[in-house]
């Protein structure tokens, strides 16, 4: 059986046949005078003719007519059809003209209505679709490990971070979206940085004219590659008979990138179970961003992995070997068996950072709230909005905090928090699932926005007079 797969990602729609990547097409559409161009041809005019460009047709897939005058009544679904047909025709040609069944790997952010629309588009393109599979689940299915697998992918207009629980099967759990950290926002930030460097050192502003702005846009991939491997990158922009060039250091680049990278890292923090190890897997696109992998070094007891290019699509093509093309419907697989054998070994992610054990830290003796230290002991200290003996009353913060929100206790030289709430308890920005160990220096946030408690360790002979036993 000949299988294929298409991964929908507006940063690059990927088509594969079997275990070979056959096509990658960026999610841009250009409304030319007599036709619509999609993919790389449109990307090459993204900064030359911005009013004739649409790059959101996958991100906002629907049938509403576009507002651009040049669109002539077309919808984003029409643009998605043109690109999917282009990728599929190229893929089928490379496969010798026939494919028995195909899978479609999709981000977990696609809504049911969008999936239904995509199914219709695939049928119009004559794709023998056997089902949809979550891209993160597909990537996790070749991991080979067990436990929490957090998949980080970057699209044009957002970054999507997905938690998958891996065992005998890979099952999607939760998704976090970093809406301000898509590739377009990163590219805009990098172009502003390079423009400032040009103006400061040469008085030439590449963002002043469309042609030089497009030239700068086209130079970004080479710059990223150079900065990924080295400490600086040279950027050259032609202007008339002149060739302007500057050198951008990795430090300048990372300083500009950190605020946006921070949104991605925080999304991963929100998916971690406090006090539990996990594996973080970067898609090939995310792993290629200079400095992003280093940001995840702050995760203690977490290994960092880099997925092979086209991993989700390639894994989906393998899974499709057990499917049949359905004429009228397609299942969305949020849970699939782990792949074994040679296929899984070829697609397994590469470890780029081992889990770093956290340095030994003292267990807290007290919790600090509004300047007052409350002692932890064998009897649970209950925190919540309710008052009573042996309770830590959270005053003036009833929204998002339960009457019996959580309890803290210390025994045998160790301390832990147990969550009972409807609204959630976060330990150092990671959600507590049931219970989690506590250490001096930790922060607990009860509810949203809630209240913050600090865990401290006080020597017995230096306990403050105001501390409560």
173, part of any domain: no
Q: State phi, psi for 59 to the nearest 5 degrees.
A: -65, -35
Portion of the chain with pLDDT greater than 90, in percent: 71
The answer to whether residue 270 sits within a structural domain is no
pLDDT for res 448: 79
Identify whether the C-beta of residue 164 lies closer than 8 Å to the C-beta of residue 269: no
Query: Do 198 and 122 share a structural domain?
Result: no
Q: What is the CATH number of the domain that holds 384?
A: 2.60.200.20
Beta bridge partners of 375: 366
Segment 240-258 mean pLDDT:
93
pLDDT at 423: 85
| 397 and 444 together in one domain | yes
pLDDT at 428: 87
With bands split at pLDDT 50, 70 and 90, how would you rate the model's confidence at 381? very high
**Crossing angle for the helix pair 250-271 and 183-202, to the nearest 10 degrees:** 160
**pLDDT at res. 410:** 93
Listed range (223-227, 357-361, 373-377) with the worst mean pLDDT: 357-361
The residue segments making up the domain with residue 79 are 3-144+307-353
Residues 349 and 374 grouped into a single domain? no
pLDDT score recorded for residue 70: 80
Whole-number Cα distances in Å, 1 to 17, 39, 105, 311, 320: 11, 29, 19, 20, 10
7 and 139 in a common domain: yes
Tell me whether residue 167 is in a domain: no
Say yes or no: 376 and 417 in one domain. yes
Instruction: Name which of 120, 164, 123, 160 is nearest 142 in CA terms.
Output: 164
Long-range CB pairs of 18-23 (<8 Å, 24+ gap) are 18/95, 18/317, 19/314, 19/317, 19/318, 19/343, 19/346, 20/94, 21/309, 21/310, 21/313, 21/314, 22/90, 22/91, 22/94, 22/95, 23/87, 23/90, 23/91, 23/94
Domain end marker among 297, 321, 353: 353
Q: CATH number, domain at 220?
A: 3.90.640.10
* 321-345: average pLDDT: 89
What are the backbone angles phi and psi of residue 219, rounded to the nearest 5°? -80, -15
pLDDT at 151: 98
- Would you say 279 and 272 are in contact if contact means Cβ atoms under 8 Å apart? no
Say if 385 falls within a structural domain: yes
**297 pLDDT band (50/70/90 cuts)?**
confident
The answer to whether residues 338 and 391 belong to one domain is no
pLDDT of 386 strictly over 80: no
CA 49 to chain CA centroid, nearest Å? 29
Tell me what pLDDT residue 95 has.
Answer: 74
Q: Per-residue pLDDT tens for 434-448?
A: 889 999 999 999 987
> Do 14 and 316 touch, CB atoms closer than 8 A?
no
Take residue 404 and report the two structure tokens written for it.
Answer: 């019996």
The answer to whether residues 128 and 49 belong to one domain is yes
pLDDT tens track for 112-157: 999 999 999 999 999 999 999 999 999 999 998 999 999 999 999 9
Residues 14 and 140 reside in one and the same domain: yes
- Tens digit of each residue's pLDDT (9 = 90 or more) over 135-146: 999 999 999 899
The CATH number of the domain holding residue 100 is 3.30.420.40
- What is the C-alpha to C-alpha distance for residues 420 and 402, in angstroms, rounded to an integer? 8
Find the largest Cα–Cα distance for the chain: 84
Confidence of residue 466 (pLDDT cuts 50, 70, 90): very low
Chosen domain end from 209, 233, 253: 253
Q: Please tell me the total count of domains within the chain.
A: 3
Considering the domain architecture, whether residues 233 and 131 belong to the same structural domain is answered as no
Residue 69: inside a domain, yes or no? yes
What's the CA gap between 275 and 121, in Å, rounded? 44
Show which of 323, 353, 383 is a domain's final residue: 353
The answer to whether the CB of 17 falls within 8 A of the CB of 57 is no
pLDDT tens across 34-88, in order?
899 999 999 999 999 999 999 999 999 999 999 887 887 899 999 999 999 999 9
Asked whether residue 276 is assigned to any structural domain, the reply reads no
Instruction: Name the pLDDT band for 240 (thresholds 50, 70, 90).
Output: confident
Q: Is residue 325 part of a domain?
A: yes
With a cut of 60, say whether residue 469 has pLDDT above it: no
Q: Does 400 map to a domain?
A: yes
Considering the domain architecture, whether residues 74 and 140 belong to the same structural domain is answered as: yes
Q: Which residue has the tokens 């005998």?
A: 168
Who has greater pLDDT, 419 or 357? 419
Residues 8 and 134 in one domain: yes
Give the pLDDT band of residue 398 (cuts 50, 70, 90): low
For residue 196, count other CB atoms closer than 10 A to its CB: 16
Q: Are residues 66 and 126 in the same domain?
A: yes
Q: Residue 285 pLDDT more than 60?
A: yes
Give the pLDDT confidence of 310-332 residue by residue, as tens digits. Answer: 999 999 999 999 898 877 788 89
| pLDDT of residue 465 exceeding 50 | no
User: What's the DSSP call for residue 275?
Assistant: T
Q: What is the pLDDT of residues 188-229, one digit of tens each?
A: 999 999 999 999 999 999 999 999 999 999 999 999 999 998
């Amino acid at each position: 059986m000949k299988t294929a797969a298409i991964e929908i990602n507006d940063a690059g729609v990927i088509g594969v046949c079997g275990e070979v990547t056959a096509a990658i097409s960026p999610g841009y559409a250009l409304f030319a005078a007599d036709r619509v161009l999609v993919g790389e041809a449109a990307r090459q005019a993204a900064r030359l003719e911005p009013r004739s460009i649409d790059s959101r047709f996958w991100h906002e897939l629907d049938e509403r007519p576009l507002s651009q005058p040049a669109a002539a009544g077309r919808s984003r679904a029409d643009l998605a059809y043109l690109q999917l047909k282009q990728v599929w025709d190229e893929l089928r040609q490379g496969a010798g003209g026939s494919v028995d069944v195909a899978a479609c790997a999709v981000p977990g952010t696609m809504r049911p209505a969008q999936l239904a629309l995509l199914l219709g588009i695939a049928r119009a393109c004559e794709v023998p679709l056997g089902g949809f599979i979550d891209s993160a689940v597909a990537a996790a299915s070749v991991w080979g490990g067990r436990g929490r697998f957090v998949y980080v992918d970057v699209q044009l207009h957002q970054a999507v971070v997905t938690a998958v629980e891996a065992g005998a099967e890979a099952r999607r759990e939760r998704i976090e979206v970093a809406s301000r950290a898509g590739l377009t926002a990163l590219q805009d930030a990098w172009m502003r940085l390079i423009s400032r460097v040009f103006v400061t050192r040469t008085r030439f502003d590449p963002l002043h004219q469309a042609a030089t702005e497009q030239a700068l846009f086209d130079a970004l991939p080479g710059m990223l590659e150079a900065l990924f491997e080295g400490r600086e990158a040279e950027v050259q922009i032609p202007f008339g008979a002149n060739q302007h060039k500057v050198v951008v250091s990795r430090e300048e680049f990372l300083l500009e990138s950190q605020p946006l990278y921070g949104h991605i890292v925080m999304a991963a923090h929100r998916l971690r179970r406090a006090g539990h190890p996990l594996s973080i897997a970067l898609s090939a696109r995310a792993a290629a961003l200079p400095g992003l992998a280093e940001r995840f070094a702050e995760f203690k007891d977490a290994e960092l992995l880099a997925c092979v290019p086209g991993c989700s699509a390639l894994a989906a093509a393998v899974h499709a070997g057990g499917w049949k093309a359905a004429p009228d419907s397609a299942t969305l697989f949020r849970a699939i068996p782990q792949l074994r054998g040679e296929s899984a070994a070829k697609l397994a992610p590469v470890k780029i950072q081992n889990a770093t054990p956290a340095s030994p830290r003292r267990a807290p003796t007290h919790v600090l709230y509004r300047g007052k230290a409350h002692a932890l002991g064998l009897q649970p200290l209950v925190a919540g909005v309710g008052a009573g003996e042996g309770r830590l009353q959270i005053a003036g913060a009833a929204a998002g905090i339960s009457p019996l929100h959580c309890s803290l206790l210390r025994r045998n030289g160790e301390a832990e928090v147990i969550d009972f709430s409807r609204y959630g308890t976060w330990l150092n920005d990671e959600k507590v699932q049931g219970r989690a160990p506590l250490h001096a220096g930790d922060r607990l946030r009860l509810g949203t926005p809630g209240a913050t408690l600090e865990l401290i360790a006080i020597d017995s002979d230096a306990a403050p007079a105001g501390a409560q036993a």
